[in-house]
Amino acid sequence: MRILTRQLLGVVCGRALLVTGAFLLVCATESVVWAQASEEVTGPQELIERYCSSCHNDRIQTAGLSFDRLDGLNPSDDAEVWERTIVKLRSGAMPPPGRPRPDVDTYHAVASQLEASIDQAAAVSPNPGRTSTTHRLNRTEYRNAIRDLLAVDIDVDSLLPGDETSDTGFDNNADVLSMTTSQLERYLSAARHISRLAVGVAPLAPQFETFDVPLLLAQNDRQSEHLPLGSRGGRAIRYHFPVDGEYLFKIDLRTNWQDYILGMGTAQLLDVRIDGVLVKRFTVGGGTTARAAPVTFTIAEKGAPEWEEYVLNADQNLEVRVPVEAGSRLVGVSFVRDLWEPEGILKPHQVGEVLSNDEAYHGNASVSSVSIAGPYGTGESGESASRRAIFSCRPTTVNVNMERNCATAILSRLARRAYRRPANDDDLSTLLSFFDRGRQSGGSFDRGIQLALERLLVDPDFLLRIERDPDSVQPDRSYQLS
C-alpha cells in the first residue's frame, strides 16, 4: 500500500513540475518575443502599427479611435488625438494588460518623438485658437450693465436664476453659460420690472417687500458702514422707489422660540432713516412693570397677563408712513447703542443657535425684518437718477414728429451702449415700433419709452456679448500688437 502511494505521488509531482516548466518556458519565450519586437520599433508609426492598430482601426474603432487615417510622422495635423495618445504612452495604460506591449524605454522614446514633433510645428505656425465668441451675461455682469446703462442698482438674485459654473467654479465661462427657456422667461419679466422702475411707471397697486435680518446675527454692535456711528443692530437697505409718494415702513423685532420679543425689559431707541435723515424714532421695551415669567421656567409658568400681552405684541405699532421722492434711497433701521450694562451677575453674550432660545427679559432687542410698502396715493415720476440717464430730451408739446425725433435720439443713444456697437436702422426701427405701440395704446410718451426699453433689455445683442471680427481683418495672418 505504501509503495503504491509513493508511486502516485511521484507521478503527480512529476506532472506538476512538467506543467510549471512549460509555463515558465512560454513566459520566457513571450518575454523574449516582446523584447525583440520592442527593439525593432523605432518610431511612432511603427509602434502604432504593431501594438495599437489591431484594436483602433476603421473597422473596430475601440473607444471611438482609429489610427488608420492618422500619420504618426506628422502628428501636428491631429495634435489633439496625439496629445491623448502621449498621455497613454507616458502612463503605460495602453496596450491593455495581457496584450503585447513595448518596454518602458520604447514608451518614453516614442512619446518624446511625438511631443517634439508637435511642439516644433506649433513653434513654426502658432495657433492659440480662440475662446467662444458668444458670451451670455451672467448675473453679476447683467447687474453692472443695468446700473451703467440706466442708473438702477437692482437685486438680480431675486429676478434671474443662478448661473452654471465650470469645473473650476467660475461663472464667467462662456462655454457653460447656456440660454434655457426658463431663463428667457425670467429675462422677459426682469426687463418689464427694470424698465418700469427706471422710467418711473407707477405700479398698479402698492408693492410690498420684506428684507430679513439673518436669524443668528448678533446685533450688539454697528452692523454696517451705512448706519450711523453709535448705532447697533438693524439693517441698511438700498431700495429703489419708483415714483414720488408715501411709503410705509414696518419693523418686526426678533423673538425667541416661544414668540416672546427679546430685550423688552428696558427702554431702547429704534431709528428709521432715509439717506441718513432721521424720519422716525421709536421707543421699544420697558413698557410694563407687570410680573414677568421666571427665566428658564417660561413653559411651566407664564407671567402676568399684561406682561404676556406686551412681550408678544410690543412691535405691533412699529410702522411709519412718510413721503419719499423717487429714486434709489438708502433706508437704515438701527438701535441707539447704550454703553451700559445691567447690575448683578453679567450674562455672557450669546451667539449662534442659542439666540433663538434666549429667555432673558433684560438685554438687547434685535431687528428681525424690515418691510417697505407703497406707493400710496397718486405719485409723480419725479427726477430720479434713472430718468436723467434715460430722458436726454423731452417733447415740449404733444406733437407726433417732435415726440418721434426725441424718441429716436433717446433710443439710438441707449441702443449703442446696450448693444456695445453703433445702432443701425433695423435696430432703431424695431425699438421705435414698440415706442409707437405704447404711445398708440393710450399711453404717454414715457410709456412708449418704457415699452421700447423693455424690448431693448431682451435683445440678444444686449444679453449676449458677441465678439465680431472686423471686416478688414484676414484670418490666419500675423498682426503686430502695440
Residue ranges in 2-78 assigned as alpha helix (H): 2-40, 44-47
> pLDDT per residue over 179-193, tens digit each?
888 889 999 999 999
Could you tell me if 386 and 241 are in contact, meaning their C-beta atoms sit under 8 angstroms apart? no
Cα–Cα dist 80/452, whole Å: 48
Decide if pLDDT at 18 tops 60.
no
In this structure, of 37-46, 179-188, 234-243, 312-321, the range with the lowest mean pLDDT score is: 37-46
Domain boundaries, the chain: 1-28, 41-124, 134-199, 207-341+353-376, 385-466
Would you call the peptide bond into 422 cis, given omega within 30 degrees of 0 as the criterion? Answer: no
Query: Which pLDDT score is estimated for 418?
Result: 96
Long-range contact list for 401-407, CB < 8 A, 24+ apart? 403/439, 403/445, 403/448, 404/432, 404/435, 406/445, 407/432, 407/435, 407/445, 407/448, 407/449, 407/452
Q: Does residue 356 or residue 109 have the better pLDDT?
A: 109
Q: Does residue 7 or residue 120 have the better pLDDT?
A: 120
Q: How far is CA 349 from CA 219, 381, 450, in A?
A: 10, 47, 52
Q: Is 6 helix (H, G, I), strand (E, B) or coil?
A: helix
Query: Which pLDDT score is estimated for 437?
Result: 93
> pLDDT per residue over 359-404, tens digit each?
667 788 999 999 999 999 767 777 889 999 999 999 988 888 899 9
> pLDDT per residue over 404-438, tens digit each?
999 999 999 999 999 999 999 999 999 999 999 99
- Residue 436, classified by CB atoms within 10 Å of its CB into exposed (0-12), middle (13-18) or buried (19+), is middle
**Strand-pair partners of 387:** none
Could you tell me if 160 and 186 are in contact, meaning their C-beta atoms sit under 8 angstroms apart? yes
Decide if pLDDT at 8 tops 80.
no
Angle at which helix 445-456 crosses helix 425-440, to 10 degrees, equals 140
> Which of 29-33, 123-127, 286-290, 306-310 has the highest mean predicted lDDT (pLDDT)?
306-310
Put simply, whether the predicted model's pTM sits higher than 0.85 gets the answer no
Percent of the chain with pLDDT over 70: 85
Fold classification of 207-341+353-376 (topology level): Jelly Rolls (2.60.120)
Q: Does residue 349 or residue 19 have the better pLDDT?
A: 349
The cell for 295 is 427665566
> pLDDT per residue over 192-215, tens digit each?
999 999 999 888 889 999 999 998
- The number of beta carbons lying within 10 Å of the beta carbon of residue 386 is 27
